[in-house]
Amino acid sequence: MDNSFKIEDHVNALKFRLALCERTLTSTNMILAYTKLEDVFVYYYKNEMIKDLTDLEKQITKFDKMKNLALGNKNLGERKVAFSKSIELMNKILGGILL
């Protein structure tokens, strides 16, 4: 059995986690989705697959702020908005792979 890191498998797992978050936005589901998202980001960054490095640090800072707001918020409406915005930001950084 091949245990190598296959980015396609991780992207598919991330999409599955995001679908779970759409149905039930719990802290656990968000943490699992964010963990997988960060794995994919690191792979893309290490392999120089991120096309636009302009303002990358600023974009990551915005992502982190939205992520922290989503994870630290008890209000479900605000949590959903912050989670969605953070995913949109990272999707933009990764070149739209989550569409």
Chain segment 63-98, per-residue pLDDT in tens: 999 999 999 998 999 999 999 999 999 999 998 888
Tell me the backbone φ, ψ of residue 70, rounded to 5 degrees. -65, -45
Contact (CB, 8 A) for 70 and 82: yes
Residues constituting the chain: 99
Contact (CB, 8 A) for 39 and 45: no
Chain segment 10-61, per-residue pLDDT in tens: 999 999 999 999 999 999 999 999 999 999 999 999 988 888 788 889 999 9
**How far is the C-alpha of 67 from the C-alpha of 93, rounded, in Å?**
15
**How far is the C-alpha of 71 from the C-alpha of 79, rounded, in Å?**
7
pLDDT number for residue 31: 96
Q: Which two tokens stand for residue 42?
A: 């690191």
